[in-house]
Amino acid sequence: AQKVTQAQTEISVVEKEDVTLDCVYETRDTTYYLFWYKQPPSGELVFLIRRNSFDEQNEISGRYSWNFQKSTSSFNFTITASQVVDSAVYFCALSGRSYKYIFGTGTRLKVLA
């Protein structure tokens, strides 16, 4: 069975602080894909990044960075110098051999001015 755990239900930070959102996954598949999505207060779901199980390189995109570690089954997301516009719910997701997308329960990030 596949599972995605986002243990942090809600995080509050002050603007310009760095923040890391944790994601731990479980799967028996050797080939799988991990994703992060953002859901701002307006409600739409926005894709941020995808990683496949064979690519453990860390990714940086502007203030966003992702750390994928197969050894700990984690795919964590860090926002550097957070801004109020980063306030949203962030979801981690997993797609394995069956292509059943499994989402975590999400982490609500509040960035205070």
Contact yes or no for 31/52 (Cβ under 8 A)? yes
The residue to which tokens 């999400």 are assigned? 106
When asked if residue 29 is in the footprint of another protein (CB under 8 A), the reply is: no
Among the listed residues 45, 60, 81, 112, the single contact to another protein using CB under 8 A: 45
Using the minimum distance from each CB to another protein, give the nearer residue, 88 or 93: 93
Lookup: tokens for 4: 């995605």
- How far apart are alpha carbons 34 and 101 in whole angstroms? 9
When asked if residue 52 is in the footprint of another protein (CB under 8 A), the reply is: yes
The residue ranges that bind another protein (CB under 8 A) are 6, 9, 33, 35, 43-45, 47, 50, 52, 91, 93, 95, 98-106
